[in-house]
Amino acid sequence: MGSIDTPTITENGSTQSQAAAPSGGDHKSPASANGAQVEVSPEPEGTKKRRSSMLPLEVGTRVMCRWRDGKYHPVKVIERRKMPYAVPYDYEYYVHYTEFNRRLDEWVKLEQLDLDSVETVVDEKVEDKVTSLKMTRHQKRKIDETHVEVGHEELDAASLHEHEEFTKVKNIATIELGRYEIETWYFSPFPPEYNDSLKLYFCEFCLNFMKRKEQLQRHMRKCDLKHPPGDEIYRSGTLSMFEVDGKKNKVYGRNLCYLAKLFLDHKTLYYDVDLFLFYVLCECDDRGCHMVGYFSKEKHSEESYNLACILTLPPYQRKGYGKFLIAFSYELSKKEGKVGTPERPLSDLGLLSYRGYWTRVLLDILKKHKGNISIKELSDMTAIKAEDILTTLQSLELIQYRKGQHVICADPKVLDRHLKAAGRGGLEVDVSKLIWTPYKEQS
């Protein structure tokens, strides 16, 4: 679990990701790593020439790059741009750290790259062609699902690939939301008029977004919302959950999707928010209800999904809110008398959170239970889909297949060991504080 980056909150509330980076090993000092701008010691003419002949680096180049931990890590160049007032070859490069999640992709300066380590100069045009020809229907659909624009059916594979290329570079670098300034993780398809903004200012209550701070200040004087629109369905201490119907609150629903996409990579975002309910978790004080995170849920899911997208805003992550949101989604399923499962694909952090939640819930029951128990019974008690129970218990090696049947083998010592490894329990949902009836279509 330690190999995932752990976003932390700095004093002013902004977030930064501190990756638990693999040991990069000793690489040469940055000054000697590229001779293009800073020359420390005289270098052979041949080396200098070879380096400058590489510049500017092609998109697709693989090279080592000095990261915020001071170490060098392998990257792939995703995009490049000329610096304003640049001398020849003075480009910035948008790189993907191949060992890390895409949320750590960033613009870097030439001086961070070790030109001696340039592996191959990939001809992106050739690569594009090959990839688009090889693209399967499944891949096509995956790409399609990462964008909110509708009507992609008519696009050919090459255009879809081009479209995916477009989303590879983060458009908005930071947002301001309430008292937090937050670094974004991924591309989000804001309307074109926001394309030239690196930073956006969100009203933390109605989630309208603006390009300038003064616009937000003006808005805050007029905006009379102090909590998400919709019904408060849960309150316990300072925590409240609001249910927002996408059909009744289209603008809010869309704003929430734009905001969420900044932190969700491969998730479906629809303009058609009518089909979803949004469960928005807030920490409340005398200034209002401040959004901590949310999950969305289809009003009718044929695949028994009880959650479409889940997000804890970075300043609130690793405090147990994610597991609270997951637990909440299962409490709703219990009230509906259904089993549920999250929509796939799960992100790396999503999978860790779900695995942790499933492990804790199932093993707590197994520990207390006397006698045999079946997966069906576990599913009935928890509203967790049988397949998820099976894969969780299998991954913990608690399942054996005997005489054509799955048998759960639960040695108390083994259970305790797994429970310890599953992390903290997260914030508890107090079911007695949940006042909710399942969604019914109103005519």
* Catalytic site positions: 343
Tell me if 424 contacts ligand ACO by CB under 6 A: yes
The interface partner of residue 150, options being ligand ACO, Zn ion, none and the CB cut-off 5 to 8 Å by kind, is none
Q: Which is nearer to Zn ion, 206 or 414 (CB)?
A: 206
Report d(CA 379, CA 389) in Å as an integer. 7
Closest CA to 177 of 327, 292, 84: 292
One of 9, 346, 375, 386 touching ligand ACO (CB under 6 A): 346
CA 146 to chain centroid, in Å, comes to: 12
Tell me if 226 contacts Zn ion by CB under 5 A: no
The DSSP element (H or E) to which 241 belongs, if any, is strand 239-245
Q: Which is nearer to ligand ACO, 93 or 202 (CB)?
A: 202
DSSP state at residue 56: S
Q: Cis check for the bond before 84: say yes or no (omega within 30 of 0).
A: no
Tell me if 291 contacts ligand ACO by CB under 6 A: no
Stretch that binds Zn ion, among 222-230, 235-243, 254-262, 417-425 (CB under 5 A): 222-230
The interface partner of residue 203, options being Zn ion, ligand ACO, none and the CB cut-off 5 to 8 Å by kind, is Zn ion
Report d(CA 79, CA 34) in Å as an integer. 20
Q: Which is nearer to ligand ACO, 65 or 349 (CB)?
A: 349
State the minimum distance, in angstroms, from the CB of residue 219 to Zn ion.
6
The interface partner of residue 353, options being Zn ion, ligand ACO, none and the CB cut-off 5 to 8 Å by kind, is ligand ACO
Tell me if 342 contacts ligand ACO by CB under 6 A: yes
Q: Which is nearer to ligand ACO, 230 or 315 (CB)?
A: 315
Report d(CA 290, CA 321) in Å as an integer. 13
Alpha carbon of 307 to those of 252, 329, 373: distances in Å? 19, 7, 27
The interface partner of residue 312, options being Zn ion, ligand ACO, none and the CB cut-off 5 to 8 Å by kind, is ligand ACO
One of 147, 161, 267, 418 touching ligand ACO (CB under 6 A): 267
Q: Which is nearer to Zn ion, 211 or 433 (CB)?
A: 211
Closest CA to 312 of 386, 399, 239: 239
Under 8 Å between Cβ of 415 and 364: no
Tell me if 288 contacts Zn ion by CB under 5 A: no
Tell me if 206 contacts Zn ion by CB under 5 A: yes
Q: Mind giving me the DSSP string for 84-118?
A: TTPPTT-EEEEEEETTS-GGG-EEEEGGGEEGGG-
One of 33, 63, 118, 311 touching ligand ACO (CB under 6 A): 311
One of 6, 16, 217, 400 touching ligand ACO (CB under 6 A): 6
Closest CA to 343 of 259, 263, 262, 267: 267
Tell me if 388 contacts ligand ACO by CB under 6 A: no
Report d(CA 279, CA 291) in Å as an integer. 11
Tell me if 263 contacts ligand ACO by CB under 6 A: yes
The tokens of 126 are what?
């050739």
Pairing label, strands 305-307, 341-342: parallel
Q: Which is nearer to ligand ACO, 62 or 73 (CB)?
A: 73
Tell me if 325 contacts Zn ion by CB under 5 A: no
Closest CA to 187 of 111, 243, 265: 265
Radius of gyration of the chain (CA): 25
| Residues making contact with ligand ACO (CB under 6 A) | 1, 4-7, 263-264, 267, 307, 309-312, 317-323, 342-343, 346-347, 349-350, 352-353, 356, 423-424, 426
| Residues making contact with Zn ion (CB under 5 A) | 203, 205-206, 223
